[in-house]
Amino acid sequence: MSKAPCGKMPCIWASLSVAATKLKAINTDNEIANSLLFELQTAVHLAEAFDKVWSSIYWLKSSKKTKTRVTITLTKLAQSISDHITESLRLFNELCEQQEQLQTLELTDEWIDIRFSLSKANSAFQETHYQLIKPLPLFEYLENQTKS
């Protein structure tokens, strides 16, 4: 391992922060919206932690053992961030389905911004950091076999 894995998460952090800030500003008592806010805030904190860990060593000068240890930590953080982004998207979709039936929340531009920010965070993560958590080919094969 001669170089740093992936890099920091400024785009992911910013997108998640925007979504969380806009959702918090809506200030609703909806249980799903509150769960969504919790997931977003957790993902924001994890992205901040990822950046701090990534910046904690000099990648070109550190020993292989240090790089491996830090990469393992980054992988765990990336997996957690991915899980929270996925859950945020699921909760947002659930909230939209609920609103189709009950219409208890006012539809404003903030909801469109939240959806866009979530989508941007997810696509940025897939493009830049998914390689840290991508399953090995054997695991993908076994997972596909159990689905069939």
- Is 96 exposed, middle or buried, given 0-12, 13-18 or 19+ CB atoms closer than 10 A? middle
Q: Which amino acid is at 125?
A: F
Q: What is the mean pLDDT of residues 8-20?
A: 92
Rounded Cα–Cα distance for residues 129 and 9 (Å): 8
Mean pLDDT for all residues in the chain? 88
Cβ pair 81, 47 in contact under 8 A: yes
Check if the beta carbon of residue 53 is closer than 8 Å to that of residue 77. Answer: yes
Tell me which DSSP letter residue 122 carries.
H
* Whole-structure pTM value: 0.84
90-119 confidence digits (pLDDT tens): 999 999 999 888 888 888 899 999 999 999
Q: pLDDT tens digit string along 20-66?
A: 999 999 988 999 999 999 999 999 999 999 999 999 989 889 999 99
Least trusted range by pLDDT, from 8-12, 63-67, 76-80 = 8-12
Q: Where are the beta strands (DSSP E) in the chain?
A: none
pLDDT at 36: 97
Return the pLDDT at 130.
Answer: 82
* One-letter identity of residue 16: L
- Write the single-letter amino acid at 23: L
Who contacts 135 (Cβ-Cβ below 8 Å, separation ≥6)?
143
Helix (H, G, I), strand (E, B) or coil at 126: helix
